[in-house]
Structure 1
Amino acid sequence: MKAVVLDTDDQFHLADLPEPVPGPGEVAIAVAYAGIQYGDVLVRGGHFPIPRPFVPGFEAAGRIIAVGDGVDPGRVGQEVTALTSGGAYAEVVLASDVLTFEAAGLDPRTAAGFGWITPTAYDLVNTVGRVRSGESVLIHAAAGGVGSLAVQFAKAAGAGTTVGVVGNAGQTGYAAGFGFDRVLVSEEFPDALDDRRFDVILDPIGGPARLANLERLAPHGRLAVYGNIATFEPVQVSANDLLMDGKSLLTYNSNLLSQTHPERLADSARHALRLVADGQVRIDITAEYEAADLDTAVQRLADGAAHGKSVLRIA
């Protein structure tokens, strides 16, 4: 089969590889489209200790063509979307049966775009941030895949005011189209907010922005941390200071959750998928790439030049 391989030179290469065979609890999927995500940036940059050569790709949409032991053989032929630990940038990928979801009725591009971002956004709003009716929400990286979905989930949960923060002025109009009441450019944060405080803040940025977010939490507010786009340098936080105002700093790691409690992630994914299928939440596919152009796609993501969701066409 054809596959994209990330080699020791930090470059993506097209290669011919043997077609994988599903093991116990796995399904084999003939991939139509694969989602491109920030994990590709991190893997290429060496932030995860994954032996190379490695077939990346963590989000697949296609059709189940075989199943391993312990999996219902009736799944063969299903149109699905799957969260994988790698391998989606290939004509056939293996995925856990638990994290492979029937996607009948969704076009394959949308199914690929569902990926990790949709259950992540759902969990950040509903499980980690626990957004309640009328609460105010601030969302960083508002023009990105998670940010554009998170505001929709927040509105569905009854949030009051929602404010987004984007990387540059060219992204403000795009983010506003998902329902934000106000959108700021990162250079305006936090000064443009005056004394405004928020009940829930979603932070994939890190560094000085993380400290500014803590300052902007209302009493009993929740800061949900799920990445470090700006810097991996640690941020020191005083638990005593948090305690005085009842503030909470919470983290979310969907990859870890998939390993420790995959059924929890699967439950959130199914809830999110229903909202997408019903048209209550929109996944915006803004770019489609061929396999030979994957490096360009990943670099645009690394540079902050992408918005919405990008996908790779396989079949």
Structure 2
Amino acid sequence: MKAVVLDTDDRLHLTDLDEPTPGPGQVAIAVAYAGIQYGDVLVRNGHFDLPRPFVPGFEAAGRIIAVGDGVDQARISEQVTALTGAGAYAEVVLASAELAIEAAGIDPRIAAGFGWATPTAYDLINTVARVQPGEHVLIHAAAGGVGTLAAQFARAAGAGAIVGVAGDTDRAGYAVRFGFDQVLVREEFPDALGGRKFDVILDPIGGPTRHANLERLAPHGRLAVYGNIATFEPVQASANDLLMQGKSLLTYNSNLLSQTHPGRLADSARRALRLVADGRIHIDITAEYEPADLDTAIQRLANGATRGRSILRVAPVAG
């Protein structure tokens, strides 16, 4: 099979590999499209200690062609969107059967763009912060994959005001298309908010922004942390101070959840996918690449030149 391999020279190469065979609890998927995400930048830049040569790619859409022990044979030929640990940039990828979510009737391009971001955004709003009708929500990285989806899930949950924070005016202009009532540029936060407080804040930033977010929480507010874009330096928070105002600092790690409680992640993915299928949630596919152009796609993502979701065309479904 054809596959894109990240080799020891830090470059991506299109090459031929043996087709993998599913093990117990796994399915083999003939990949139509694969999602391109920021994890690809981190892998390419060596932030994860992974053996090379390595086939990257963490999001796949396609058709199940084989199953391992313990998986129902009836799933063969099922159209799925899959969250994978690696290998999606190949004609065939292995995935946990539990995290290969049936996606019959979903455009495979949309199914590839669904990826990790959609269930992450769903969980942040619905199972971590538990946004209630009328609550005010602040979302950082508003123009990102999770941010644009989280605003839509917050609106679907009945949130009141939804405010975003984006890196620059271009990103802010893009983000407003996804249900935000207002989007600030990063330099405007938090001063432009005046004395406003929020019931829920989503924070993938870290550093001083995390302290500012804690200050912006209303009594009984929830700060949901799911990344450290700015810095991995630890942020100190006083449990006593949080307790006095009923504030909560919560964290979410979808990769860890996929390993410890994959059924929970799969359930959230199915719920999110139903909202996508119903047209209530929009996944914005803005670029499609060929395997030979994957390095360009990843570099554009690293440079901040990408808006919306990018996908890789591996073997499009006939017809």
In 1, the alpha carbon distance for the partners of 2:210 and 2:102 equals 37
In 2, the alpha carbon distance for the partners of 1:217 and 1:8 equals 46
Structure 1 unaligned regions, length at least 5: none
> Match for residue 285 of structure 1?
285
Q: Kindly tell me: are residues 270 and 215 of structure 1, through their superposed partners in 2, closer, same or farther at Cα, counting changes over 3 Å?
A: same
In 2, the alpha carbon distance for the partners of 1:198 and 1:296 equals 39
> Match for residue 5 of structure 1?
5
What is the percent sequence identity of the aligned residues? Answer: 80
Task: Identify the range of structure 1 (172-181 vs 250-259) with the bigger mean alpha-carbon deviation.
Answer: 172-181
Shift of 1:96: 0.7
In 2, the alpha carbon distance for the partners of 1:249 and 1:22 equals 39
Q: Give 4+ residue runs of structure 1 displaced > 3 Å after superposition.
A: none
In 2, the alpha carbon distance for the partners of 1:119 and 1:8 equals 32
CA displacement, residues 22-49 of structure 1 (integer Å, 9 cap, x when unaligned): 1111111010100011211222232222
Amino acid at match of 1:127: T
> Match for residue 90 of structure 1?
90
In 1, the alpha carbon distance for the partners of 2:303 and 2:224 equals 23
In 2, the alpha carbon distance for the partners of 1:296 and 1:208 equals 32
> Match for residue 69 of structure 1?
69
3-state SS in 1 of match to 2:178 = coil
Say whether residues 1:188 and 2:202 are aligned partners.
no
CA displacement, residues 186-207 of structure 1 (integer Å, 9 cap, x when unaligned): 1111111111111101111111
3-state SS in 2 of match to 1:240 = helix
> Match for residue 263 of structure 1?
263
Amino acid at match of 2:53: P
Amino acid at match of 2:150: A
Say whether residues 1:159 and 2:159 are aligned partners.
yes
CA displacement, residues 119-143 of structure 1 (integer Å, 9 cap, x when unaligned): 0000000011110110000011111
3-state SS in 2 of match to 1:130 = coil
Task: Identify the range of structure 1 (227-236 vs 81-90) with the bigger mean alpha-carbon deviation.
Answer: 227-236
Q: Kindly tell me: are residues 176 and 301 of structure 1, through their superposed partners in 2, closer, same or farther at Cα, counting changes over 3 Å?
A: same
3-state SS in 2 of match to 1:153 = helix
In 2, the alpha carbon distance for the partners of 1:230 and 1:11 equals 26
3-state SS in 2 of match to 1:138 = strand
Task: Identify the range of structure 1 (294-303 vs 90-99) with the bigger mean alpha-carbon deviation.
Answer: 294-303
In 2, the alpha carbon distance for the partners of 1:6 and 1:242 equals 45
3-state SS in 1 of match to 2:98 = coil
In 2, the alpha carbon distance for the partners of 1:211 and 1:300 equals 31
> Match for residue 313 of structure 1?
313
3-state SS in 2 of match to 1:242 = helix
Amino acid at match of 1:120: T
Q: TM-score, normalised by structure 1?
A: 0.97
Amino acid at match of 2:253: N
Task: Identify the range of structure 1 (82-91 vs 300-309) with the bigger mean alpha-carbon deviation.
Answer: 300-309
CA RMSD between the two structures:
1.1
> Match for residue 140 of structure 1?
140
Shift of 1:241: 1.9
> Match for residue 176 of structure 1?
176
Amino acid at match of 2:23: G
> Match for residue 80 of structure 1?
80
In 1, the alpha carbon distance for the partners of 2:229 and 2:141 equals 9
Contact persistence 1:140–1:204 (CA under 8 A): yes
Amino acid at match of 1:189: F
In 2, the alpha carbon distance for the partners of 1:307 and 1:172 equals 11
3-state SS in 2 of match to 1:62 = strand
CA displacement, residues 145-182 of structure 1 (integer Å, 9 cap, x when unaligned): 11111011101111000001111111222211111000
Amino acid at match of 1:133: P
Shift of 1:102: 1.2
